[in-house]
Structure 1
């Protein structure tokens, strides 16, 4: 077996990676590191996301740096802030025992002044996103005369994101005698063009097949009617109780709507898209890494650079327009030798695209059937049984309560106790999926039912009341945050809340008519950042867009927004729960609750 010691790395670097727990190099590391350690040859490395490319170029780069020179000697370009921070952090970990090496991360969405000060103090390796680096170049705040190595990481993604001109501008500012290392998951014509324009006779290494998918990923597709996509998505998630995954959509609006609908239906979900501020994005990613979020709904651009371990599933709610983007999506799972599943929920008209993707990735898709209600109930029941069987008992903490617990269950036999315990969860699923329809469409079916499914509920059905709240995006809320805030303070389930229209300093949200009093009562004594939260009822409750009319405050002042509103003081009546339906709410399952 090949070891890191046999690749030619020095003792200080070996000590760092040993402390990190690295035992054997991945194929891209095993083959690339000896070549890059030679230090004088341009290099093109093609390997899938999650195969260890950062260490493949990072370890040789660290070994080539002269620690006595405090000017940039290595420049690493990558597409997103998340990947920039990840690379910089990995290099710092690798170099723990190397000596006085300074690694500076330069990216948008953060204070440029602090980054300029870091560069001024001296950094041997600069990790940067193209846009922010160009800003720094324009300010004359970086000197590339000592740069000996330039690394283009995720080159295909940078080009897909429109950084072609930025990359050209940056490379034109670097010395002609530099060595360039290019790493990419795929090799489209644009990447090939960069290698021809900026590299001299590069050594090209391909791990796997060009543009191919990870061999450890299983690819599945489900054929449903377009209007049944959201219902199919929920069943697939329910059928995989331990899922930790990313749901890909085509648009920002769709990702937000699906995330809100999933939250409303009791799932730990949130959205990641380009309309979020950097602070909101960081908050979502922190919760996802901590697994407080079980499924993240994202667009292609927003998800680029996400490096989260142990993602079990990638779900394509919409297939990407560019077939190569499918490779990037599916590569978010099965990282570092693990296995994963990539799922596509399609209509009959998308079958041709599935065949096209199969040709590109060199793997066949498995046609799967959307599970019926009985199968989902069985899967969830035994997931609960396994969880109980494997739970770690805190003997010291539970001891004071055991006497009362034993007394409560004294008259029940072991068999009766198990049946009752299992029925608590099983009955909810059974009720929820009772008479659940078959969502599958046969491949030869060409029924004309192309209407899109509604992932949420609109305000025009007469069952909802539109309310005003004096909090908005300036209070660091996303629509998902607002939904959780409402549920946490009122005790409502998410499926009782309709459309949320987030503004700057205020917002509108809808609740079922019978829940209005409960909302108003719940917010009577609530404060946010030292400010009393105010709830008022909009008289023009049917204004779905939330922006066409004017609203009048209780003092007579007019503000822009939804319809007119008047002050509302609630009573104490609580609305009852409606009958559960598959397109509405979902039972409250253990482990899925609103995160604060």
Structure 2
């Protein structure tokens, strides 16, 4: 008996799986499929990306569908259009031998008219991003009354992206559902709240430790000065000539700027960010999947849901502002049981974040030295020699030219030929790296500071995921801004908003204190006026943004009587 058949799947699905070349289920599939086939039990599945979660919920979901009913019976909600399309494609491959079962992907950036037309033709499974799904509901183009099964895939990512209200709305409008299946890589309190509010005694399955990282990933970090970050990135790429990977940046401006620099220097790379049209995004992803590109540089939002086989490296150009985002970044590599490397480039003030990451994902991070110029050249040279020895000469009429070649090189020794080949191939590398400086930061002060932090911990006695460390240096100016969590911001999205709008780097920021209606930001005195000028008067979601200098230091969320701190009564009454 086939291993998938033993889980309870029918012959049609088992045949489709066999056609795809899969013989044994992954741990999450092995544990989830028998439970989900009942169709009546709420379920929470915790597993890292790349562990086969789509098949874990997709296969039992397809078996439960009634092909005679031409209306949505199952709804799969996921954070991004890339993941939406990936899930839809996977489901299509699973239904190869099951006639009359149709799936439709609905997501932003594509024709809503075409999506509505396809829905009206009759589909059993709808895969949707939250925004487009809400749009279709409001247009009365989709009926959720007959939906029996709701799947929330990458639930933690959807909540990080600010889709909490949308998810609540969807779950409140699928009133006749029989079960909710929630899949997530991590289990933060927000995800736990969905389980508590909408699910009844859910069966929970965890593959690996909660919030843990993939054990097949080698986590490495390199410490350099902030102004050497780009040069370090370039050197690490050169040191790994066979790299096929994704570089993560904090902002779309960084992604575009770094991509343009690397392209000018001859690297095969393109940027993926929110300013691209869907057609442009599809073109970039197509080139990356076909390996026409060696590297993809992307923001967290743009890269969510990317599932590409064979990614060897993930590089954090900067560590993410939200510590849990690291798990999703690193999960782009080491998929389907393969191994991979996740590299983080840190400056001195970020090294204490590594310890927090180690605790969160239960993995050891290896601190390595940034390679010297000679080490890079040596690695490139041997990579070229390996390619030379593996070159396929069976498809060309090379024997025709062999006599001419022997005559041409008759007076040249084998050693000299090799030297000339090396010079031709590596002349640019040797010249570039012959006087390369040491990019490593070597400081006893760094280690002392890191150890002190580990022993003492943050000054407020707790870990803040969105703002790893707190700085109260006298070189900072404290600014007030009239947006907060009520505007849909969380720590990481708020940071990205203010930095994108001001075109400043994260290093200029100090402490950040977010409230429901407003927030306070510490920023380097030298750029405070620039940030105010960039943000004050801007509009966000139809509201005028106000930013100005705030007097005094950071205030606590409440005073001793439990009252919220506010800059002034008159300012809060503006909205």
Q: Does TM, scored on the shorter chain, surpass 0.5?
A: yes
Matched, 1:178 2:181: no
For 1:320, the equivalent position in structure 2 comes to 320
| 1:275 to 1:415, Cα distance in 2 relative to 1, 3 A | same
Matches within 5 A, 1:346-425: 346-396=346-396, 398=398, 400-425=400-425
What does the per-residue CA deviation read over 1:511-530, in whole Å, with 9 as the maximum and x for residues that have no partner?
xxxxxxxxxxxxxxxxxxxx
Check the 8 A contact 1:79/1:304 in 2, yes or no.
Answer: yes
How far residue 397 of structure 1 moved from its aligned partner, in angstroms, is: 5.1
Q: Partners in 2 of 1:86 and 1:427 — Cα distance?
A: 43
How far residue 5 of structure 1 moved from its aligned partner, in angstroms, is: 2.2
How far residue 138 of structure 1 moved from its aligned partner, in angstroms, is: 0.8
Q: Partners in 1 of 2:302 and 2:361 — Cα distance?
A: 23
Matched, 1:3 2:3: yes
For 1:233, the equivalent position in structure 2 comes to 233
How far residue 6 of structure 1 moved from its aligned partner, in angstroms, is: 1.4
Check the 8 A contact 1:2/1:30 in 2, yes or no.
Answer: no
Q: Partners in 1 of 2:169 and 2:71 — Cα distance?
A: 20
Gaps of 5+ in 2: 448-575
| 1:446 to 1:208, Cα distance in 2 relative to 1, 3 A | closer
How far residue 446 of structure 1 moved from its aligned partner, in angstroms, is: 5.2
Matches within 5 A, 1:499-510: none
What does the per-residue CA deviation read over 1:195-242, in whole Å, with 9 as the maximum and x for residues that have no partner?
111111100000011111100001111110111111111110100000
Question: Which moved further from structure 2: 304-313 or 416-425?
Answer: 416-425
For 1:73, the equivalent position in structure 2 comes to 73
For 2:257, the equivalent position in structure 1 comes to 257
What does the per-residue CA deviation read over 1:492-522, in whole Å, with 9 as the maximum and x for residues that have no partner?
xxxxxxxxxxxxxxxxxxxxxxxxxxxxxxx
For 2:128, the equivalent position in structure 1 comes to 128
Scaled by the length of structure 1, the TM-score of the pair is: 0.73
Q: Partners in 1 of 2:442 and 2:421 — Cα distance?
A: 39
For 2:208, the equivalent position in structure 1 comes to 208
Q: Secondary structure at the match of 1:182?
A: strand
How far residue 406 of structure 1 moved from its aligned partner, in angstroms, is: 4.0
What does the per-residue CA deviation read over 1:325-376, in whole Å, with 9 as the maximum and x for residues that have no partner?
0011011110010111111111111111111111101111101000001110
How far residue 96 of structure 1 moved from its aligned partner, in angstroms, is: 0.2
Scaled by the length of structure 2, the TM-score of the pair is: 0.76
Check the 8 A contact 2:330/2:342 in 1, yes or no.
Answer: yes
Matches within 5 A, 1:234-313: 234-313=234-313
Q: Partners in 1 of 2:381 and 2:330 — Cα distance?
A: 29
Check the 8 A contact 1:2/1:25 in 2, yes or no.
Answer: no
Question: Which moved further from structure 2: 422-431 or 284-293?
Answer: 422-431
Q: Partners in 2 of 1:145 and 1:342 — Cα distance?
A: 44
Q: Partners in 1 of 2:402 and 2:107 — Cα distance?
A: 54
Check the 8 A contact 2:104/2:119 in 1, yes or no.
Answer: yes
For 1:104, the equivalent position in structure 2 comes to 104
Matched, 1:331 2:331: yes
For 1:466, the equivalent position in structure 2 comes to none
Question: Which moved further from structure 2: 179-188 or 391-400?
Answer: 391-400
For 2:141, the equivalent position in structure 1 comes to 141
Aligned length: 447
Q: Partners in 1 of 2:398 and 2:165 — Cα distance?
A: 63
| 1:405 to 1:115, Cα distance in 2 relative to 1, 3 A | farther
Q: Partners in 1 of 2:443 and 2:333 — Cα distance?
A: 27
| 1:237 to 1:445, Cα distance in 2 relative to 1, 3 A | farther
What does the per-residue CA deviation read over 1:82-123, in whole Å, with 9 as the maximum and x for residues that have no partner?
100000000000110122111111111001111011100000
How far residue 427 of structure 1 moved from its aligned partner, in angstroms, is: 3.0
Q: Partners in 2 of 1:76 and 1:129 — Cα distance?
A: 9
Question: Which moved further from structure 2: 44-53 or 266-275?
Answer: 266-275
Once superposed, what is the RMSD of the aligned Cα atoms?
1.6
Matches within 5 A, 1:78-93: 78-93=78-93
Q: Partners in 1 of 2:74 and 2:243 — Cα distance?
A: 39
Check the 8 A contact 2:46/2:187 in 1, yes or no.
Answer: yes
How far residue 399 of structure 1 moved from its aligned partner, in angstroms, is: 5.2
Check the 8 A contact 1:223/1:443 in 2, yes or no.
Answer: no
Q: Partners in 2 of 1:128 and 1:402 — Cα distance?
A: 60
For 1:48, the equivalent position in structure 2 comes to 48
For 2:168, the equivalent position in structure 1 comes to 168
Q: Partners in 2 of 1:61 and 1:157 — Cα distance?
A: 22
Q: Partners in 1 of 2:267 and 2:15 — Cα distance?
A: 43
Check the 8 A contact 2:2/2:23 in 1, yes or no.
Answer: no
How far residue 404 of structure 1 moved from its aligned partner, in angstroms, is: 4.0
For 1:94, the equivalent position in structure 2 comes to 94
Q: Secondary structure at the match of 1:323?
A: coil
How far residue 37 of structure 1 moved from its aligned partner, in angstroms, is: 0.9
Q: Partners in 2 of 1:260 and 1:175 — Cα distance?
A: 50
Q: Partners in 2 of 1:163 and 1:443 — Cα distance?
A: 43
How far residue 276 of structure 1 moved from its aligned partner, in angstroms, is: 1.2
How far residue 253 of structure 1 moved from its aligned partner, in angstroms, is: 0.7
Q: Partners in 2 of 1:402 and 1:395 — Cα distance?
A: 15
Matched, 1:113 2:113: yes
How far residue 419 of structure 1 moved from its aligned partner, in angstroms, is: 2.7
Q: Partners in 1 of 2:177 and 2:83 — Cα distance?
A: 27
Check the 8 A contact 2:146/2:176 in 1, yes or no.
Answer: no
Check the 8 A contact 2:232/2:370 in 1, yes or no.
Answer: yes
| 1:418 to 1:59, Cα distance in 2 relative to 1, 3 A | same
How far residue 16 of structure 1 moved from its aligned partner, in angstroms, is: 0.2
